[in-house]
């Protein structure tokens, strides 16, 4: 366990190596909130509510979901794993005493670690300086459920992307798989549009899939809505996580023998 903590630490250190990058990330985070404010202000206009959301509720939803979307950096895993398999540098994970899958989990968690700091700082700035109202759930059980769901969601997404990445052992090019996954995930996680705006039938089908619980449901829970779905969400995510853990173990042991390590 300690070695994976060290892997997370070194990737966190690499993430904050350049001051300009760090500063730009902060500027980007703050400006994103500004654009969202302008956009939703225009959408609401004179209306009190849109699709059952008040303006502060919608704005809070946007801040929370975009934060979760930003820390969900698992995309890197599939791109990096597949690129390393193709150029032969995946060998470096095979010759050290680590489980490559856990290495990438630790790496992703390490890289995302510093985003929460910026998000909290910039959100606090908006709330204090511009007196923007934030709607946050008061129930600690709901907040705990949302946090557990967030962690399970992040782990599931890393597992999914790792599986897509190691497909490069078998297929020369996996960019089509990644493109399809990217489009589906962006839509289903509700990162673009709250899912309540979609037909009810589609949303109920989505509830059997994990993506609904990755960004959308934790965001809704944190603004005090959809409490009744919390336990189901955790159970569904845990089941998918378990399934993908087993699937990855099987796929890695089956596919890695196809690796030629070309390029070294």
Partner 1 sequence: MEVQGKMIIQAKKLSKTYKLFEKEAGLRGSIKSLFNRKYIYKTALSDFDLEVNEREFVGLIGPNGAGKTTLIKLLTGIIAPTSGELSVLGYYPNNLEYAFKKQYAVVMGQKSQLFSELSAADTFLLFKELYGIPTDEYQRNLDYFVKLFDVEKLLNVQVRTLSLGERMKMELIVALLHNPRVLFLDEPTIGLDAVAQKQIRMFLREVNKTRGTTIILTSHYMEDIKSLCKRCVVVNRGEKIYDGSTDALFEKYQTHKKISLSFSEATDFVLPQGCTLVDQNPQKCTFMVPVEASREVVYSLIQQYNLRDIIIQEDDIGSVVERIYGDRQVKRS
Of residues 107 and 122, the one with the C-beta less far from partner 1 = 107
Least distance CB 217 / partner 1 (angstroms): 36
- Strand pairing partners for 96? none
Candidates 30, 36, 86, 91: give the one binding partner 1 (CB under 8 A). 91
Rounded distance between C-alpha atoms, residue 244 and residue 52, angstroms: 36
Residue 20 touching partner 1 (CB under 8 A): no
Residue 47 touching partner 1 (CB under 8 A): no
Of residues 3 and 227, the one with the C-beta less far from partner 1 = 3
Count other C-beta atoms under 10 Å from residue 192's C-beta.
11
DSSP state for residue 229 in the 8-state scheme: G
Least distance CB 18 / partner 1 (angstroms): 7
Rounded distance between C-alpha atoms, residue 215 and residue 5, angstroms: 25
Residue 200 touching partner 1 (CB under 8 A): no
Residue 224 touching partner 1 (CB under 8 A): no
Candidates 25, 54, 89, 245: give the one binding partner 1 (CB under 8 A). 89
- Strand pairing partners for 50? 53
Q: Are 136 and 221 in contact (CB under 8 A)?
A: no
Least distance CB 5 / partner 1 (angstroms): 8
Enumerate residues 95-114 that contact partner 1 by CB under 8 A.
Answer: 95-98
The DSSP line for 24-61 is HHHHHHHHHHHHHHHHHHHHHTT-SEETTEEHHHHHHH
Rounded distance between C-alpha atoms, residue 40 and residue 37, angstroms: 5
Measured in residues, the chain has a length of 264
Region from 48-56, 57-65, 122-130, 256-264 binding partner 1, contact rule CB under 8 A: 256-264
Q: Are 186 and 66 in contact (CB under 8 A)?
A: no
Residue 176 touching partner 1 (CB under 8 A): no
Least distance CB 17 / partner 1 (angstroms): 4
Give me the residues that bind partner 1 (CB under 8 A), please. 2-3, 5-7, 10, 13-14, 17-18, 88-89, 91-92, 94-98, 172, 257, 259-261, 264
């Amino acid at each position: 366990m300690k070695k994976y903590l060290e892997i997370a630490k070194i990737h966190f250190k690499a993430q904050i190596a350049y001051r300009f990058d760090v500063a730009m990330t902060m500027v980007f985070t703050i400006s994103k909130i500004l654009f969202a404010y302008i956009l939703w202000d225009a959408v609401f206009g004179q209306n009190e509510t849109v699709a059952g959301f008040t303006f502060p509720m919608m704005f809070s939803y946007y801040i929370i979901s975009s934060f979760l979307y930003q820390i969900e950096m698992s995309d890197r895993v599939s791109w990096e794993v597949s690129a390393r398999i193709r150029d032969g540098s995946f060998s470096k994970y095979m010759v050290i005493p680590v489980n490559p899958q856990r290495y990438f989990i630790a790496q992703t968690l390490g890289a995302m670690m510093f985003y929460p700091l910026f998000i909290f700082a910039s959100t606090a700035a908006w709330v204090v300086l511009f007196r923007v109202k934030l709607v946050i759930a008061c129930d600690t059980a709901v907040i705990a459920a949302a946090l557990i769901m967030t962690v399970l969601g992040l782990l599931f997404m890393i597992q999914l992307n790792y599986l897509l990445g190691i497909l490069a052992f078998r297929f020369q090019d996996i960019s089509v798989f990644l493109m399809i996954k990217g489009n589906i995930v962006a839509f289903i996680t509700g990162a673009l549009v709250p899912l309540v705006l979609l037909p009810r039938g589609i949303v109920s089908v989505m509830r059997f899939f994990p993506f609904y619980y990755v960004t959308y449901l934790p965001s809704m829970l944190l603004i005090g809505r959809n409490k009744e779905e919390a336990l189901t969400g955790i159970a569904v995510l845990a089941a998918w996580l378990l399934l993908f853990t087993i699937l990855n173990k099987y796929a890695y042991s089956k596919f890695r023998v196809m690796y030629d390590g070309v390029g070294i």
